[in-house]
Amino acid sequence: MVATLVRLKLRLLANAYRREVWRAVLLVLGGLYALGMLAMLALLMSQLAQATEVGTRQLVAVGAGSVLLLGWAVVPVLAFGVDDTLDPQRFTLFTVPSPRLAAGLVVAGAIGVPGLLTVLLAQLPVLLWWPGPHPVQATAAAVVGGLLGAATCLVLARVTTTAAGSVLRSRRGRDAAALAGLLLLVPLVVVPVLGESVVPDLGWLPGALGVLAWTPLGSAWAAPGDLAAGAAGTGLARLGISALALAVLALLWNRLLGTSMVEIATGSARRRRRGGGEPLAVAEALSAHLRVPGPAASVAARSLRYWRSDPRYLSNAIGMALGALALTVPAAVGLGAGPGQGLWWAPLVTAPLLGAFAGWTVHNDTAMDSTAYWMHLTTGISGRHDRLGRMLGAALWMVPAVTLVAVLGAGWSGRWDLLPATLGTGLGLLGAGLAVSAVASAALVYPVQPPGSSPFSSSGLSGHVGLTLLAQALTSVVATVLSGPVLVLGVLALAVDPRWGWAALTLGLVGGAGLLAGGVVYGGRVLDSRGPLLLGTMRGWSKH
C-alpha cells in the first residue's frame, strides 16, 4: 500500500510538471533555495557547536525544533488547497481505512520540497553534538530524535488538516482560516521591526525552552544534549516521550482517516445565510447621496463586500499595509523619526507608499470574478459603469486609509506643515494607480486563485507566469510615470519648502480624480469590446 501510494504521488507530480513547465521551473528554484538555506544552517550549527556550551546548544535545538513542529501543525491548515492530490476522500471508492493506508498517505505526502526539506532539517542538529563530550552517544540520539521529529511533523500535519477538514469544507470556515493566516503575518513583520521595543526582556526564554524540552514539542531535540552531558537516563526518557507522542498521533490519524473517508461533506450542503439586503442598501445609499448611476452603485456595493469578506481581497489589503509599514517603520524606529532626528521624514513616506500599493492592487480585479463575470455580460451593464463601480468600491475605503496614515505620519514626525504634501502625494499615487487598474483589468487578465480558495495556495495559477510578470511590471511602470508630477511636488515640499505641499495636495486631488475619470471612460470602452474574450480566457483557467 505504501509503495503504491508513493508511486501514485510520483506519477501525479510527473504529469503535472510535464503539462505545466512553470511548475518544474519553480520546483528547481525551490530546491536550489532549500539547498542554500540548508547549507547556511549547517554552517551556523557547526559554529554554534564550537562556540557554545552543551546547555546552550540544547536550548537552541529545542527552540528550532519546536518552531518546526508548530509550523507543520498550523501552516497546512491555513494554506488549504496547496496540495489535495492525496485527500483521503479520493480513495473512498477504492479501499477501506487501514493502518497501511494511513502510513502510505503520510509517506507519500512527504514527497516534495517541504517534506524532504523537513527531513533534512531534522537531521541538522547532528552537527551540534559531534565535536563535544560523548559524541557517539549524542550523535546517535540526534539521529533518532531527528527521525522522530520529522515523522511527528508529517503525522501532525495530517491530524490537524483532517481534524479541521469539516470546518474547511464550508466557505465561512475557509474564509476564517485564511484570515487567521493573514493576521499571523502581522507579528512576523512587526516584531522583527520593532525589536526591543516589543520584547524588552528575553530572560524568560531559557526557562520556557526548558519546559518545552519535557514536552513532545521539544523532547526529541533535547535528548542529545542530555547524553552529551552524561545524563543518559534523562535523554532516553525524552526520546520515550517523543516516541509515545508519535504513537498517539499515529493512532489519532488512523481514527480520523476512517472518519474522514465515510463522512458526508455536510459543510458544503448547508445553505449560506442570505445577505442580499446589505449590498442593496449600500447601492441605494450610493445612488441617493453620491448620485452614482444604479448599475455602477450595485457593482461598487458588491466590491465593498468582497473587500470585507473575500480572503483573496483581504490578503491584498493586509499585504499592501504590511508592505508600506515594512519599508518605513524600520527606518523610523531603528534610526529615529522624532522632530529633528535623522530620519524624521520616514513616517511621511508611508501614506504615499500605501497609496501606490493600494491603487496598483486592483489592476487584475476582473479576474477575481472568474467565470461569474458572465452576469455582467448577460445583464448588459456598460463597461463604463463596471469600471466606475469597481474603482469606487476600492476608493471608498482606500481614500480614508491613505488620509488616516498621512495624518498619523505627520503627527509621528512632528511636521504638521508637511501634511498637505504627504496627503496630496498619497492621493495622487492612489488616483494614478486606480486609473491604470481600470484600463489594465479590462485589457488583460491573468490567472488568480479561484473564488473560495486560500490566498496562500497555488490553485488555479497554472501557466502564464511570463504574462503575469509582464502585466505586473507594465502596470507598475505606467502608474509611476503618471504619478511623476505629484511625486516631484512632494519631494520639493520635503526637501525645499513645505509650501510646495499645497501644490502637491491640489494636484493630487484634481489630477488623481482626473486620471481616474479618464481611466474609467477608456477602460469602459476597452471592456465593452473585450468582455466576451475576457470571459473565454477565464473559462480556460485551471479550476475556474
**DSSP secondary structure, 2-61, as one string:** HHHHHHHHHHHHHHHHHH-HHHHHHHHHHHHHHHHHHHHHHHHHHHHHHHS-HHHHHHHH
What's residue 185's pLDDT? 57
The Cβ of residue 372 has, within 10 Å, a number of other Cβ atoms equal to 12
pLDDT: which is higher, 208 or 433? 433
Could you tell me which residues come within 8 angstroms of residue 218 by beta carbon, excluding any fewer than 6 positions away?
62, 63, 65, 66, 209, 212
Could you tell me which residues come within 8 angstroms of residue 51 by beta carbon, excluding any fewer than 6 positions away?
none
Q: How far apart, in Å, are the Cα atoms of 341 and each of 2, 320, 336, 344, 417?
A: 64, 27, 6, 5, 16
Decide if pLDDT at 419 tops 90: yes
Decide if pLDDT at 105 tops 80: yes
Q: Which of 80-84, 364-368, 489-493, 530-534 has the lowest mean pLDDT?
A: 80-84
Q: Which of 35-49, 222-236, 405-419, 450-464 has the lowest mean pLDDT?
A: 450-464
Mean pLDDT for 310-335 is: 70
Mean pLDDT for 88-103 is: 77
Could you tell me which residues come within 8 angstroms of residue 519 by beta carbon, excluding any fewer than 6 positions away?
387, 391, 434, 435, 436, 437, 438, 439
524 near 384, Cβ under 8 Å?
yes
437 near 360, Cβ under 8 Å?
yes
Decide if pLDDT at 265 tops 50: no
- DSSP class of residue 270 equals S
What's residue 269's pLDDT? 42
Decide if pLDDT at 211 tops 60: yes
Decide if pLDDT at 315 tops 90: no
**Distance, CA of 121 to CA of 206 (rounded, Å):** 22
Q: Which of 130-144, 183-197, 224-238, 482-496 has the lowest mean pLDDT?
A: 183-197
**Distance, CA of 494 to CA of 78 (rounded, Å):** 43
Q: 3-state DSSP call for residue 382?
A: coil
Q: Give me the chain's average pLDDT, please.
A: 81
User: Which pTM value belongs to this model?
Assistant: 0.64
What's residue 160's pLDDT? 85
pLDDT: which is higher, 141 or 56? 141
Measured CA angle at 38 (ends 34, 39), to 5 deg: 120
220 near 65, Cβ under 8 Å?
yes
Nearest to 79 by CA among 9, 5, 160, 150: 160
Decide if pLDDT at 127 tops 90: no
Listed by start position, the domains of the chain span 2-77+84-168+205-262, 305-381+399-539
What's residue 330's pLDDT? 57
Q: How far apart, in Å, are the Cα atoms of 387 and each of 98, 109, 184, 436, 445?
A: 55, 44, 33, 11, 14
Residue with cell 480520523: 256
pLDDT: which is higher, 24 or 180? 24
Cα Dmax for the chain: 81
Specify the amino acid at residue 166: S
Phi, psi of 476 (to 5 degrees): -65, -45
pLDDT: which is higher, 341 or 355? 355
pLDDT category at 336 given cuts 50, 70, 90 is very low
Q: How far apart, in Å, are the Cα atoms of 227 and each of 206, 530, 533?
A: 19, 70, 68
What's residue 340's pLDDT? 46
Could you tell me which residues come within 8 angstroms of residue 531 by beta carbon, excluding any fewer than 6 positions away?
373, 376, 377, 383
What's residue 339's pLDDT? 46
